Structure 1
Amino acid sequence: MFISSAIAQTAPAPAAGGDMQSTLVSMLPLVLMFVVLYFIMIRPQMKRQKEHRAMVEALAKGDEVATAGGILGRVSRLGDPYLTVEIANGVEIQVQRSAVVQVLPKGTIK
C-alpha cells in the first residue's frame, strides 16, 4: 500500500521536446560568455598581431626603432629572421625582427 501511493505521487515524465528546450536554455549563458570573450579579448589581440606583423615586414634600412628590451637604434642591415640595429656610432647589435615593438618617427634618435 505504501509503495503504490509513493509511485502515484511522483511527477509525470516531461515530454521529449521540453527536455531539449531546457537543455538549450541552460547552455545559453555559456554560449553568450564565449561570444563576449571573443569580441572583448580574442579579436582585438588578433588585430594587434596582424598590425605588428605588417609593421615588422615593412621595416627598411634607416628606420629608427624601439625594441622590446627598450633599446633605441637605427636599422643598418636587414636579414630574414634578424636585423642589425646601430645603437651608437660603430656599435651594432643583432635582434630578432619580432623584438621590434615600434617604428619611431625620423629624427627621434640624435
Structure 2
Amino acid sequence: MSPDMVTSLVMLIVMFGIMYFIAIRPANKQRREQEVMMQNLAKGDSILTTSGFYGVVIDIMEEVVIVEFGNNKNCRIPMKKDAIVEVEKENEAKA
C-alpha cells in the first residue's frame, strides 16, 4: 500500500470515530435515559408530552398511560408512553 492510501484510510477511520462521538453515542445515551424514565414512571407523576401538554399520570399499562389534563379532573386521555418527554415525580413537585 502506498503512503497516500494509508493516509486516506487513517482519515476515513478518524472521520468514522468523530461521527460516532458526535451522532451515535449521544443518541444511544438519550435512548437509555428515556428507557430509564419510562421504567420509573409511576401514578401521580407530573409529565410533559411531546405536544407541550402538562398532565398527571392516572394509570399505567404496558405501552399506554392514562393522563389527566387540566384542573377540572374530567379530561383523561390515553396516550403512548413514547409521547412523554419529561417526568417530574410526585414528591418532587410538592417540595
- The bucket for the TM-score relative to the shorter chain is 0.7 to 0.9
Q: CA deviation at 1:39?
A: 0.9
Identity %: 33
User: Which of the pair has more CA radius of gyration?
Assistant: 1
Query: Paired residue for 2:48, among 52, 63, 66?
Result: 66
**Structure 2 residue 26 is matched with structure 1 residue 39:** no
CA distance in structure 2 between the partners assigned to 1:57 and 1:96 by the alignment? 14
Shift of the alpha carbon at 1:81? Answer: 0.9
Question: Could you tell me which of 12, 27, 33 is aligned with 1:51?
Answer: 33
User: Paired residues, what number?
Assistant: 89
User: Where do 1:11-26 residues align within 5 Å?
Assistant: 20-22=1-3, 23-26=5-8
Question: Over aligned residues, Cα RMSD in angstroms?
Answer: 1.6
Normalised by the size of structure 2, how large is the TM-score? 0.85
Indicate the structure whose relative CO is greater, using CA pairs within 8 Å and at least 6 residues apart: 2
Q: Deviations over 1:27-81 (max 9, x none)?
A: 1111111101101221111101100111011100000000001111000000101
Post-superposition shift, 1:25?
2.1
Structure 2 stretches of 5 or more lacking a match? none
SS at match of 1:101: strand
Tell me the distance in 2 between the aligned counterparts of 1:69 and 1:86. Answer: 15
Amino acid at match of 2:63: P
- Which structure 1 residue ranges, 5 or more long, are not aligned? 1-19
Corresponding position of 1:106: 93
1:21: how far off?
4.2
- Report the Cα distance in structure 1 between the residues aligned to 2:2 and 2:46, rounded to whole angstroms: 60
